[in-house]
Amino acid sequence: MALLQISEPGMSTAPHQHRLAVGIDLGTTNSLVATVRNGISVVLNDENGRAMLPSVVRYTADGQIIVGEAAQTMQSQDTANTISSVKRFMGRGLHDMGEITRFPYRFVEAPALGKTAGMLQLRTVAGVKSPVEISAEILNVLRRQAEASLGGELVGAVITVPAYFDDAQRQATKDAARLAGINVLRLLNEPTAAAIAYGLDNASEGVYAVYDLGGGTFDISILRLSRGVFEVLATNGDSALGGDDFDHRIYCWLLEKSNLSALPPQDTRLLLTHARAAKEQLTEHGEARITAMLSSGVLIDHVLTQAEFFVLSKNLVQNTLQPLRRALRDAGLKVGDINGVVMVGGATRMPQIQQAVGDFFGQTPLTNLDPDKVVALGAAIQANVLAGNRSGDDWLLLDVIPLSLGIETMGGLVEKIIPRNSTLPTARAQEFTTYKDGQTAMSIQVVQGERELVSDCRSLARFELRGIPAMVAGAARIRVTFQVDADGLLSVAAREMRSGVEAAIEVKPAYGLSDADIMRMLQESGQHAADDMQARALREQQIEGHQLLEAVENALEQNGNLLNVTEQAQVRTQMHDLRAALQQSNHQVLKHATEALNQATTEFAQRRMDQSVNSVLAGRTLESIE
């Protein structure tokens, strides 16, 4: 896959070649292989479209070695030669296995190595086989599956192992991979792989509660996970309860705080959009400011604290707990029987939901969406980092990021996402929004440097995020994620959080940065710091001025009759002065002109608000309002 290549004049423009690396979950029951494509970790399917490979190997008298589902179907017919759960035998001797009669295999004690007993082996129709050889057959199938899917030879793989695996078991796993022709980039603990993929650990067996709170519905399922098999024990829920109801609670709170009642549909939708944005902001912050201008000219400007939101939504949260009790009762289980709680659905990000579910079950909820694939997906992310995806150029590799990485924002300003001296590998994300109403696309320019303006930094790449739902300015939530791997390869992804549309690019400049380049850019940053701050302030003030002019122009068009001729002339004069100031490069002049127009329209804004309130109350009695 060819990646974006940036070259200096006269230098080669040969495309950077992506290095093929995978993550492998060598499981007891099933095994999977995954990779990172376009910045996203995905499981690779076989030629039949199946993601999971049963960890079963069968040896036949005619020398065939059958792996996977075809071998699994023969377990009951050819037990001695069909080996499953070989992972249990890795790095183990017979003395480690306890009662071996529970296994249908013919074990052989391997010769001792010095004072240490050898690893057990299994006698099959094809001869004596070690767990390493058997595991290698599984890994070999996964390797060939990955190379067929990716169209090339693998440079390496991250293979997961249980956290409790000791040195002997880990070495046996590495030996199996080497026998299968796989370069092991790293052995990764399975809980750690899950944490990489979803941020939290997940056990492999037990009884789980799946708490699914979506936008409009709520479901609770109690499942038993045993050796890769899910058994649904009970379900319950509410088809009329979801995240939208939490948005509506904030909407009603806004109406109450603003002394408003019924609103036209467009204003209702506007406030619900802002309510949702506030709900999402309160997931990670203690308060959220909600500011919106209604079509009537009424300005909504309130701060909702996390504590207030908890109170507002308390009943909704409680309404999800009763189905939990019913589901547990139907399954014949108690709270203490639940081994883990998996959170599904965007609404489960709310802290009050996490807290209520955690308190109910007495444990911290998990956030896995696919417990079958999470380990392999996490391993793939780590493999992509360790592979480096580096060609043979002179890209400067340092232990830290030498210069800040960021993107261009409105007005040609730089928003730094990864600051310089961040340790490699590193990944950070930041959210941005749209500037114009109805904006459906965003152009993203990736830059490197310490200056405040894009024109003073080095441009690394450009890409576009399209398909953003048309919303009012500021309503969209675009999360931009930067990841720099151990070899300095930068991956940038942008995702609109509501619709899920996304775009990604991997950046690998051909020119690299020499020590002299880095020193020069750092020196320039210090020398021009004051000038840069002035330039940034000017750009920000220009953006504010343009927005104010547009808002006042719209207000005059809708409600200009609220001002007499003299008052309109005064406002028009201030607008003219602001337009003139926008043509200059004096930050203070522009600031004064903006403030003057704000002051000149204060009375106008009050009259528009009074008119809006009067229109809402017209024809209504005090009793009807109460």
174 & 129 share domain: yes
87 catalytic? Reply is yes
Say which of 25, 372, 408, 496 is annotated catalytic. 25
How far apart CA 153 and CA 22 sit, in angstroms, is 11
Say which of 46, 133, 175, 190 is annotated catalytic. 190
Q: pLDDT confidence of 361, banded at 50, 70, 90?
A: very high
98 & 156 share domain: yes
39 & 185 share domain: yes
Say which of 46, 87, 280, 532 is annotated catalytic. 87
Give me 616's structure tokens: 């809402």
431 catalytic? Reply is no
- Among residues 201, 203, 205, 202, the alpha carbon closest in space to that of 225 is found at 205
Q: Is residue 389 part of a domain?
A: no
59 & 155 share domain: yes
Cis peptide before 425 (omega within 30 of 0): yes
139-168 mean pLDDT: 84
46 catalytic? Reply is no
| pLDDT exceeds cutoff 70 at 486 | no
Give me 453's structure tokens: 């303006």
- Domain of 520, in residue numbers: 405-527
How far apart CA 112 and CA 131 sit, in angstroms, is 16
Structural domain ending residue among the three candidates 182, 198, 214? 198
Q: What pLDDT score does 114 carry? A: 38
434 & 570 share domain: no
Residues with Cβ within 8 Å of 297's Cβ and at least 6 positions away in sequence, in order, are 555, 558, 559, 605, 608, 609, 611, 612
The one-letter amino acid code at 442 reads M
- Among residues 485, 508, 275, the alpha carbon closest in space to that of 380 is found at 485
| pLDDT exceeds cutoff 70 at 243 | yes
Q: What pLDDT score does 501 carry? A: 87
532 catalytic? Reply is no
Say which of 133, 137, 175, 212 is annotated catalytic. 212
604 & 574 share domain: yes
282 & 318 share domain: yes
Residues with Cβ within 8 Å of 499's Cβ and at least 6 positions away in sequence, in order, are 467, 468, 469
Q: pLDDT confidence of 344, banded at 50, 70, 90?
A: low
186 & 225 share domain: no
Give me 144's structure tokens: 């060939």
Q: Are 269 and 244 in contact (CB under 8 A)?
A: no
| CATH number, domain containing residue 604 | 1.20.1270.10
Q: What pLDDT score does 399 carry? A: 37
Q: What pLDDT score does 624 carry? A: 52
